[in-house]
A and B are shown apart, each in its own frame.
Chain A
């Protein structure tokens, strides 16, 4: 089966076509993490506050991959950990063994699975702690 879209016919948009295996071999480093600002309506004295934010990771080697996602802080059993919220944002479009592009939903699901396999929560939590005191 030939790829249904030929990269050579596309404009250089930065989209990186990689296999899932290639992505799993990437060395990813934390770039920056931050908190989302609450909307004014949520700033009520005494109301529960849920910490939500974003985290950005980049590949240490070529190709130059960017992978970012949103997270929420969950307190469980006396410990707090960050959990992914929603699907990640990236410049990667995964391809299958025949070089055929994943469709959008499958791509995001697979990238989300990749995120979930990474030990990112501690690094993100620590970065946020350092940043906001």
Chain B
């Protein structure tokens, strides 16, 4: 597997478009998320100049995973859309805390691709490690992410240091919560 990381400016526009189409396939087509995605491209208001991306490609060069890192010193998903997930804990506004979002790891070329799933565990773990390394490289000491239960289980199984920030909110019948990942070594 190969990884490419950078801002939208660093990545070629063609690769950004490929990422947007992949995100559409995962989040809109597979998971059924109600997202504005004209022309089959999934990008939102947080895909701004400050965002960093980590992309994974398989041996054939096809995209098999994506992750987005946002600085908490600017707009980010947890603060702007799901602040209630923080409970009584102040929203981080810290250059050493970044948000991980739009995380997916599905190889649509693989025959065992999980139907209706957001990630293959092997790809997901590898991509998470890469995203964490990238985050450390830009000064992050922690990551926060809006998480369903599946992400929590994945983090635990892979040995990442993570904990819940506050009690979950039930969204669509399922618990959703803010997850804190410690990147300090």
- Checking A12, A34, A91 against B164 with a beta-carbon cut-off of 8 angstroms, the contacting residue is A91
Instruction: Find out whether the CB atom of A64 lies under 8 angstroms from the CB atom of B142.
Output: no
Quote the shortest CB–CB distance from A131 to chain B (angstroms). 8
Count chain B residues whose beta carbon lies closer than 8 angstroms to a beta carbon of A.
33
Q: Within residues 16 to 49 of chain A, which ones have a CB less than 8 A from any CB in chain B?
A: 31-32, 34, 37, 39-40
Interface bits B87-109 vs A (CB < 8 Å: 1, else 0): 11110101011000000000000
Instruction: Find out whether the CB atom of A31 lies under 8 angstroms from the CB atom of B167.
Output: yes
Instruction: Find out whether the CB atom of B97 lies under 8 angstroms from the CB atom of A11.
Output: yes
In the complex, A58→B177 CA distance in Å? 13
Residues of chain A with a CB closer than 8 A to B165's CB: 13-14, 91
- Checking A39, A54, A58 against B114 with a beta-carbon cut-off of 8 angstroms, the contacting residue is A39
Quote the shortest CB–CB distance from B84 to chain A (angstroms). 12
- Checking B86, B90, B94, B175 against A54 with a beta-carbon cut-off of 8 angstroms, the contacting residue is B175
Task: With A14-B86, A15-B163, A54-B175 as known contacts, state yes or no: A31 contacts B94, CB within 8 Å.
Answer: no
Taking each of A56, A70, A86, A87, which has the highest tally of chain B beta carbons within 10 Å of its own beta carbon? A56
Quote the shortest CB–CB distance from A17 to chain B (angstroms). 12
- Checking B86, B161, B164, B170 against A90 with a beta-carbon cut-off of 8 angstroms, the contacting residue is B164
Instruction: Find out whether the CB atom of B86 lies under 8 angstroms from the CB atom of A32.
Output: no
- Checking B116, B141, B152, B166 against A64 with a beta-carbon cut-off of 8 angstroms, the contacting residue is B166
Interface residue B115 (Cβ < 8 Å from any Cβ of A) = yes
Interface residue B156 (Cβ < 8 Å from any Cβ of A) = yes
Instruction: List 15 A–B pairs whose Cβ atoms lie within 8 Å, in order of A's numbering.
Output: A11-B142, A13-B142, A14-B165, A15-B180, A32-B170, A32-B173, A34-B174, A54-B175, A58-B167, A64-B87, A66-B168, A91-B163, A91-B166, A91-B167, A93-B163
Q: What 7 A-B pairs come out closest when comparing CB atoms?
A: A14-B165, A66-B167, A14-B89, A13-B180, A58-B167, A91-B164, A32-B170
Not counting A13-B165, A13-B182, A14-B89, a sample of 12 additional A-B residue pairs whose C-beta atoms are within 8 angstroms of each other reads A11-B94, A12-B90, A13-B142, A14-B163, A64-B87, A64-B166, A66-B164, A87-B156, A89-B156, A91-B166, A93-B163, A104-B161
